[in-house]
Chain A
């Protein structure tokens, strides 16, 4: 089934669906490209969560974003969890399913965080085997998200862009390019985020994420950015987004906010800002194609 991924989310801005906004959305029907949900929040049998998601799904494209598969983990994938995921995908037929290049479970314990892994031949083989398994069960290609990391490993044999490029080549999955993660990791590891961006397999991007981060520093005075998802997208991340779009053209783009959830209007305004960047990038694409013609 390893065919090339074709993103089917509209190349527009979307926002995360929050239970506190659902009634407002259904009433006002905002013009937004898509909604994204965390798969794990909808793994119950019935009740209000499914009721409202079904109503939203009837009106909007949907992106399903998993946080619990632990694709980068040493454990075997949790088959029960994979089955729950399959049930959810069958129920809602989302335009896209994505997961993380990270681990969250070990020895059966779930840590509820996206933890980092060394980039070695051994971990590459394991991640690819896990993605193959996921894609076989779900019968679709997935998008894999680059992580925000605070640490690296001396065992790593390649950088993140190389590691992800190998995964994409071997499994046929696509890339969920999280611009904020790219920026956070770049700064945390003392590298230039622009250069990491350019090294990424940009032909395989199926979606982008934008989010806010918290600026901190460690006891030695080195910057330590935290991928906190609790505030507005920062200026530096908008600039990196603009650069990314200049390299990839229009992409489905999510405004991610998981903590300190503001009023719906605030998220819609940030999505509109992303739409402006998308419009500029499209204009540039038109000009480029005219030049080549």
Chain B
């Protein structure tokens, strides 16, 4: 028996059984091989369902299973770490014609993937109050400071209201979810901020200026430069409100000064 034949037959239900497999005389060898075929596919679908719970809810379990199966056949895992399986799912959904009727599905998959990543990145202590106070004492140092985000922080731009949709689906009961969804216009473009604070993944919808400000900080602009860029692009940008929000969600691990992290 070569594992090659066995593994080919696992993913291709129409292919002949590998040579050299046996079972009790008179029993149904096909049915026995099907247990393995079924184990492989059902378990991979379950992994994807686990990694993409909101996508599953959006399309329903039956549809999701069919889509996940098509994905698994085209992109079987390359690693045994199953919580990291499905990083290509959003791209797959984008080209999966039957899913076209839910235009925001692929972006929701991107968001759920980032949530997963945010929940698993290395632990880093967030910026402490003392470091903030030191900085606040010197306006010049504050203006020139370059801020470091927690490794879980990421942004997703979407033509759809993915952050609001995702948040609506976090409610416990079906009623609460329905009530929250009633307030969301899915076709409202949104920028989602994803991060982990303490043990929880946090998702927020950002205004344009907020997104520009965070991106400027991420690309190593100083606080003053980032502020200038954001104000230029978005007259409504509220610096104090955003910084308060970012601080209270542990978005920063510190700021760079003289080459060191404070």
Contact = CB atoms under 8 A, between A and B. Distances in A.
Interface in A84-133: 84, 103-113, 115, 117-118
Interface in A206-264: 218-220, 222, 224, 226
Interface stretch (A1-9, A27-35, A37-45, A194-202): A37-45
Given A47-B120, A153-B20, A226-B35, A103 B3 contact: yes
B43 A112 contact: yes
Nearest to B27: A222
Contacts of B32: 150-151, 188, 218, 224
A292 interface: no
A103 B199 CA distance: 35
A189 B80 contact: no
Nearest to A73: B3
Contact of B120 (A44, A74, A106): A44
A155 interface: yes
B14 interface: no
B175 interface: no
B2 interface: yes
Contacts, number: 142
Interface residues of A, number: 50
Contacts of A48: 119, 199-200
A112 B81 CA distance: 9
Contacts of A78: 79-80
Closest 9 CB pairs of A and B: A68-B80, A44-B120, A218-B28, A46-B123, A218-B31, A222-B27, A45-B122, A48-B199, A106-B7
30 contacts: A40-B82, A41-B82, A41-B83, A43-B83, A45-B120, A46-B122, A47-B120, A47-B121, A68-B81, A74-B2, A78-B80, A109-B77, A110-B80, A111-B40, A112-B77, A113-B36, A113-B39, A150-B35, A151-B22, A151-B29, A153-B21, A154-B21, A155-B20, A188-B23, A188-B32, A189-B23, A222-B23, A222-B28, A224-B35, A226-B35
Interface of B: 1-4, 6-7, 10, 20-24, 26-29, 31-33, 35-36, 39-40, 43-44, 47, 76-84, 119-123, 196, 199-200
